[in-house]
Structure 1
Amino acid sequence: MPQLVPYAFDGFVEQAVFLADKPFFALADGTVRRMDGGETVAEALPAGLVCARADPYAPRLLCGGEDGRIVAVDAACEAQELVSIGRRWIADVAAGPDGALGFAAGRSAYVRLKNGQLREHVHGRSVEGIAFAPKGLRLAFARYDGASLWFPAMDTPPVGMEWKGAHMAVGFSPDGRFLVTTMQENALHGWRMEDGKHMRMTGYPAKVKSWSWSAKGRFLATSGAPAAILWPFSGKDGPMGKAPLELGTRGDTMVTSVACHPGDDIVAVGYSDGMILAVRFADAREALLRRGGNGPVTTMNWDRAGRRIAFGTETGEAGIIDIAG
């Protein structure tokens, strides 16, 4: 049976993640908590935390604040300021190769290069989401009416990938063949990188606020429906002409968070009532990991071994689930 170690914090949990196999929780109040045989607290952003993302290249959590600051919290739970641009809301942050850092604030996409140089591209409308390509220093940012691709180390303007509407988050497939955005409307949009072919993924009753690529990049799992919706991306055309998998269906209870297992075709599914299931792709077999709680699940992440899940909720409930018991 799965074993749950619960925690209770004072507010919204923005990110729950493992750094060097230790569980960390980033809260909207600007604190980051390491729960490892006790509680260690980093006062990362006292003015308030807007976004937090794990760095795939180093054991640290990148946190963006309401005061224009980006702070890194390492595995020792020590905070270090990386960037300060004045009183501007940091909408999103991402780590790139060779120590690069990308972030979005207002109408600007920024990249801080390895040498410390800060490059800025000002767009006509607000920049919402930001992501680095799997290989090379190529950045994508989500914006109104599409996304843009930028090589910030080169003196060339970003290349536009157009589609009408407000695009809120952006990400590359693990193999770099596709670019996908979430939209203000209840949809995803995608482009095939080799030729810019469009991919439209619709039918959601709510906005997609959580997504996760499967271990081999064959599926993109998403929230925004009463089931986890998994779009197939293994073929040349991605999900076009193919039906998605629907896993963990629960009537009218909405999926609010998804996290694919790091090695197996399994997805953790978190719901608006706090329940968490693990579901296998092949046969839709479900395992109950958490019965529920007082608020929607906002964040989930597996550890490197794929044995434990860290999770957090809107109401400050959080915990570690050991699926092996």
Structure 2
Amino acid sequence: MPQIAPYEFGGHVEAAAFLKDRPVFALADGTIRFPAGGETVLETHEGGLLTARLDPFAPRLISGGEDGRLVTTEPDGRQVELASIGRKWITSVAGGPQGNVGFASGRNAYVVSGKGRLREFAHPRTVEDLAFAPKGLRFASARYDGASLFFPETDAGPQQLEWKGAHTGVMFSPDGRFLVTIMQENALHGWRLEDGKHMRMTGYPAKVKSWSWSAKARFLATSGAPAAILWPFTGRDGPMGKPPLELGTRGDTMVVCVACHPSDDVVAIGYQDGMVMAARFGDAKEALLRRPGGSPVSAMAWDKAGRFLAFGTEGGEAGVIDIA
């Protein structure tokens, strides 16, 4: 068994990340924790934290909560409030290029520029999620009946991508060719952005709650089944007409969290019963990283080098696994 440095937080872990090799955990109680080397607890969001994500463009954690504050946390623990919208809940956050940060609250999406300018983008229905494109300043919002694409530095209207149903999560492929959404039903939907062609990814017995792109964007790993489901995105048509990989299949519990290794064809798989496993794409070889027991895995993240895996659970159990 790999070595685990265990932590106990006593509350739901919303996000796990590494900031310049320091493990950091965001908790639903509104705190952000740096547990290694003597725990540092940052009281960040009054009333509770609702969302937290690592900024893919900068070494910082972005969080929002019930207090209507958008906050970044740096590797040294320094925090900066980027925006405050009163007592409105911030339910989704995303980091973008050039220091831009996006967030969603109710029927509005917002973008705070790297220079501090706040722009608001109204929607007719609730904004469920948002994400920035990997290149160029463009962001997408997930909404009822589809997704919208915005260029926040212009006054141009959004490009609308329509598909009936509630879309609750959104993400660009790392190469910028595809946009994929999580649906309220047990499915994913996608669009090829060059021409708007639709992609349907169905067959899940449960709702997808976690997803992760593999190295070089070859696969999109997802939860929502008794195995990690990995859709191939290597060709022009993405996963259409191709069966997904199924890794880490178990007959007695569901996959609830996935995290692809930053450089190798390996995915970390978190289960409903608290177990964590790693599985290799090529031969489906498995390695047990954490035994079952405790509450469902709610967050996982690799460090940049791919040696350490941080995890957290709904019950507050957490840790850092050394796979070397």
TM-score bracket, shorter-length normalisation: over 0.9
Deviations 1:18-49 (A, max 9, x none): 10101001000010010221101111112210
| Dislocated runs of 4+, deviation >6 Å | none
Question: TM-score, normalized by length of structure 1?
Answer: 0.98
Counterpart in the other structure of 2:301: 301
Q: Which amino acid in the other structure matches residue 220 of structure 1?
A: L
Counterpart in the other structure of 2:135: 135
Q: CA deviation at 1:252?
A: 3.3
Deviations 1:60-88 (A, max 9, x none): 11011112111111111222211101111
Conserved 8 A contact 1:221-1:260: yes
Conserved 8 A contact 2:46-2:66: no
Conserved 8 A contact 1:41-1:77: no
Question: TM-score, normalized by length of structure 2?
Answer: 0.99
In the TM superposition, what are the counterparts of 1:92-241 in structure 2 within 5 Å? 92-241=92-241
Q: Which moved more, 1:73-82 or 1:270-279?
A: 73-82
Deviations 1:155-181 (A, max 9, x none): 111110000000001000010000000
Q: 5+ residue gaps in structure 2?
A: none
Conserved 8 A contact 1:179-1:191: yes
Conserved 8 A contact 2:149-2:159: yes
Instruction: Measure, in 2, the Cα distance between the counterparts of 1:211 and 1:305.
Output: 20
Counterpart in the other structure of 2:58: 58
Q: CA deviation at 1:196?
A: 0.2
Conserved 8 A contact 2:168-2:183: yes
CA RMSD of aligned residues (A): 0.8
Q: CA deviation at 1:146?
A: 0.2
Q: 5+ residue gaps in structure 1?
A: none
Q: Which amino acid in the other structure matches residue 229 of structure 1?
A: I
Instruction: Measure, in 2, the Cα distance between the counterparts of 1:280 and 1:64.
Output: 34
Conserved 8 A contact 1:130-1:171: yes
Q: Which amino acid in the other structure matches residue 23 of structure 2?
A: P
Q: Which amino acid in the other structure matches residue 284 of structure 2?
A: A
- Identity, % of aligned positions: 70
Counterpart in the other structure of 2:290: 290
Secondary structure in 2 aligned to 1:216? Answer: helix
Deviations 1:221-249 (A, max 9, x none): 00000000000000010000000000000
Conserved 8 A contact 1:53-1:94: yes
Counterpart in the other structure of 2:81: 81
Instruction: Measure, in 1, the Cα distance between the counterparts of 2:16 and 2:99.
Output: 23
Instruction: Measure, in 1, the Cα distance between the counterparts of 2:87 and 2:146.
Output: 27
Deviations 1:70-116 (A, max 9, x none): 11111112222111011111110011111111111100111112232
